[in-house]
Structure 1
Amino acid sequence: MVDVAADLSSFSFETGLTEDEEKLLYLRGRAAGLAFCGCAHALYLCKLIRSLRRVLRSPTAQTDSVASGDLCVGILGLGHMGKQLLLSLLEMTDIKPSHIKVSTRRPETAEFVQTGVECFFDNRRLATWADVLFLCCLPSHLPKVGGDLHCRLSKHCLVYSVTSAVPVTRLAELLGHNFIIKPQYEVVGGDTADLWLSCTDLSAALKDSLLIEASCPLTMSGAITLSPNWVCAVLYSLLNICTSASLPSSDALSLINGLFKEKWTHTVQLNAQSFISSAYASSLRGDEPFPWISLTDAQTKETPLLRFLSSNKSVQQCISVAYKSLLETPVSLDSSL
């Protein structure tokens, strides 16, 4: 019998990559880097919010039910990024599986039922339950998803969009909601393969201190950058959580600064003027909550916080150090937390 593939090098498993194929290898590195950064930044946000909520629900804190109890995390969409995010949450945080729910079009095929994560196909149910809702659906599904979620999201539900190519202003319009974070990544240059190609196992990669350092917001390396507006949106989201709990502005600042207390220097502190205009800050009493901040505005406009961060290198460095420290913190074995 004649081997019809004998002279076809593309069918030979030992030929390796051609010169032209090697030129495209950076695309694989780029995809791996974006997936890593997407999961790492989502994990950081969840850990930061959990740290704040733990303080808010302490016996000495006077809060309402918005900030009480454990963090409820919803994932809408269980494609590649949805699965990666779910595995990362289960392995890299101490969020209980019972406090993670997934809405997917094919829940019967979900592989995570045995972990205790509930999977179903009901976007509206997920929207009314979650404290943090990750959008991991395809851009083409967003009009339908927006119809499901519109007017059903609690004002206090933080929506985090992993969906690419859809700006935060469009998401706000589709969802009728302004408590949304949409990371804006940019690839600068094509040579990302050397660093990010090691991310074949995302769970292992998320424990790699070099990769964590490369993904630090404000100081990212590896030819991938993240808009500084993302950091602003994260900090404003913490402020809104305090406002949801009717926390006085002075206490809110104290708690948020406390999340970074081991990294701040004595000269670095967030104050009211860091978040809001000087005129508004001067009229805000310490026993009054901060106003609710639109995260859509925080990511599309120049804010006091963006100006503060952009002009203060020491603050940028402190935030990067705090990011690495929180991501590298081992998962707590105390189920009561």
Structure 2
Amino acid sequence: MDMLENLESLQFDYGIPEEDRFWLYLQGRSRGLMIEACAHASFFCKVLHNLRELLPKNKSSSSLSSESFDVTEKADLKVGIIGGGHLGKQLAHTLLQLVPIPAASLRISTRRPETLGKLSTVFKSSDSTRWSLFWLKLLLNHTNILRPQYHCVEDLDKIWGANKEITAALQDPVILRATCPYSPNGGVILNIKWLEGVIYAALNVCTASNVDCRQALKLLNQLFLSVHFKDCRKHEDSCPKFQLPHVVSKSYVKNLLHRRPFPWFDLTAVQLRETPFSQYHSTNTVLQDHLTYLYCDSFGISPNKEEQPVDLMGSPSQ
């Protein structure tokens, strides 16, 4: 309940001259961008968490390169947030409550630890002046960076709300559906290449754990395509399924030893160039619908009022 809702003089826009009210749309856009960022960070962490649960127990992590993900068996997924400002705090709250990331596995770097308030009691912080750019470059190898890029349209839909906490907003079906990677709703649009990066990041996790390419594809299908339409029970053969040519070139498939892991994918290149997956999913509306179902289901929400997702493969609980 908003105690200030009917108190006009205490509203954010009170007293703003009429000629300047045009700029109020920036407030909604800023909130929309923050909600989208928190939603997509949460989804990515859920994907990594669920993949770690699916990885074969008899596979041990292999040090393939300095870029390898930490997939130590039974270890919690560890997340670091650079910056403890407004966005950093909202990310921390979202990951703690919606993934959920254990508090002991969350780290935040900030120059002003005292501004974290109550958050400083649930997870550790570090003064960012102790982290040189050189060390961050070594720690965050550039080829492993996933960067969501957003485009804002002029006619921003007023759906983001102004008073809900971010975690509560992401339980609102209208707001959550607007954050879906394929959704144009809300006026804030995600570059879909980010989703490609998530797919290839999952394959890199399999490679780091020494999982062969056939098993990695099986895990990829279980991870991303386990949630289906109800009609899929009757027409399961028509459901999308990842195959080798969908993630690597046809020429590479011919020379690929199926008992070997996939090559290490440069995630920066994935987000900047066309990939086999780009060609597969760009016009495949059935695949897009299934990934939309997975995204919404990971937050416990159906993508629309008529359909309910059905788990046909027994994927880990979100």
Shared fold, TM over 0.5: yes
Question: What residue number does 2:272 align with?
Answer: 300
Q: 5+ residue gaps in structure 2?
A: 1-8, 63-69, 302-317
**CA shift in 2, pair 1:328/1:313, >3 Å:** same
Question: What residue number does 2:94 align with?
Answer: 88
Identity over the aligned pairs, expressed in percent? Answer: 33
Distance between the aligned counterparts of 2:192 and 2:103, measured in 1?
Answer: 32
**CA shift in 2, pair 1:13/1:290, >3 Å:** closer
Question: What residue number does 2:34 align with?
Answer: 35
| 1:179 Cα offset (Å) | 0.6
Question: What residue number does 2:3 align with?
Answer: none
Aligned CA-pair RMSD = 2.4
Question: What residue number does 1:266 align with?
Answer: 237
| 1:276 Cα offset (Å) | 1.0
Contact kept? 1:74, 1:102, Cα under 8 Å:
yes
Distance between the aligned counterparts of 1:121 and 1:290, measured in 2?
Answer: 38
Distance between the aligned counterparts of 2:237 and 2:83, measured in 1?
Answer: 44
| 1:121 Cα offset (Å) | 1.8
**CA shift in 2, pair 1:210/1:280, >3 Å:** same
Distance between the aligned counterparts of 1:29 and 1:244, measured in 2?
Answer: 41
Distance between the aligned counterparts of 1:182 and 1:323, measured in 2?
Answer: 18
Contact kept? 1:276, 1:304, Cα under 8 Å:
yes
1:253-298 C-alpha deviation (Å, 9 max, x unpaired): 1011101222385331111111111110222122110000001100
| 1:92 Cα offset (Å) | 1.2
Task: Give TM-score, length-normalised by structure 2.
Answer: 0.80
**SS where residue 110 of structure 1 aligns?**
helix
What is the correspondence of 1:218-257 to structure 2 with a 5 Å cutoff? 218-257=182-221
What is the correspondence of 1:168-317 to structure 2 with a 5 Å cutoff? 177-192=142-157, 194-198=158-162, 200-259=164-223, 260-263=225-228, 266-267=237-238, 268-317=240-289
Say whether residues 1:79 and 2:85 are aligned partners: yes
Question: What residue number does 2:21 align with?
Answer: 22
Contact kept? 1:33, 1:199, Cα under 8 Å:
no
Question: What residue number does 1:148 align with?
Answer: 135
1:50-100 C-alpha deviation (Å, 9 max, x unpaired): 0000111x54x4222742211011111101111110011111122210011
**SS where residue 186 of structure 2 aligns?**
coil
| 1:326 Cα offset (Å) | 0.5
Distance between the aligned counterparts of 2:152 and 2:116, measured in 1?
Answer: 32
Contact kept? 1:228, 1:306, Cα under 8 Å:
no
Task: Give TM-score, length-normalised by structure 1.
Answer: 0.75
- State the one-letter code of the partner of 2:254: S
- State the one-letter code of the partner of 2:92: L
Contact kept? 2:107, 2:124, Cα under 8 Å:
yes
| 1:102 Cα offset (Å) | 1.4
- State the one-letter code of the partner of 1:86: A
Contact kept? 2:182, 2:190, Cα under 8 Å:
yes
Distance between the aligned counterparts of 1:258 and 1:94, measured in 2?
Answer: 21
**CA shift in 2, pair 1:20/1:191, >3 Å:** farther
The alignment covers a number of residue pairs equal to: 275
Distance between the aligned counterparts of 2:41 and 2:50, measured in 1?
Answer: 14
Q: 5+ residue gaps in structure 1?
A: 1-11, 126-144, 154-158, 160-175, 330-336
Distance between the aligned counterparts of 1:285 and 1:22, measured in 2?
Answer: 62
**CA shift in 2, pair 1:244/1:17, >3 Å:** same
Contact kept? 1:249, 1:287, Cα under 8 Å:
yes
Question: What residue number does 1:48 align with?
Answer: 47
Distance between the aligned counterparts of 1:121 and 1:74, measured in 2?
Answer: 13
**SS where residue 266 of structure 1 aligns?**
helix
Distance between the aligned counterparts of 1:49 and 1:283, measured in 2?
Answer: 29
